[in-house]
Chain A
Amino acid sequence: MSYIPGQPVTAVQRVEIHKLRQGENLILGFSIGGGIDQDPSQNPFSEDKTDKGIYVTRVSEGGPAEIAGLQIGDKIMQVNGWDMTMVTHDQARKRLTKRSEEVVRLLVTRQSLQKAVQQSMLS
């Protein structure tokens, strides 16, 4: 998302998701795509087609993620403090679905946020 190397990404949002228990599993209600072992050029949400980060590809209706304010197309950069910009797809999945955690705090960024920040900086 307009990533300039060496500069911190400023347009970020923190999202706190409380996992929902469904039978045996704890679900969060969204789907992820991307990872360093995946093909970044097929990612429809990324601005930069070489970006191998983890993106939210689908948010299920009424799920915990939607309630918490996660939107489709968001890039997840941290999960509970763990970095998600340089992980494989499977590692990302594991970090999100730890059975011991009931709450996950995500650091996400999205393009609309970026634009809003830029506009406010200009004006």
Chain B
Amino acid sequence: MKLLTHNLLCSNVRGLRPGGGFPLRIQVRACPSVPAVEVLEGFLQCPDSGRQFPISRGIPNMLLSEEEA
């Protein structure tokens, strides 16, 4: 996931406060010497609900379960 994509993404969990789903917090294993330009493994966390969306192999998975949608 590139930085620009992150700029466009927001949490789509139901029942959030207005604007509560953006921006998603990027959670990656800290590597101080390497700036995170593209996230390959990690999570995007919804600031309002705390829901974590996984990123694997550079692909964020933003699918919600039926209860969350």
A and B bind: no
What residues of chain A have their CB less than 8 Å away from a CB belonging to chain B?
A: none
What residues of chain B have their CB less than 8 Å away from a CB belonging to chain A?
A: none
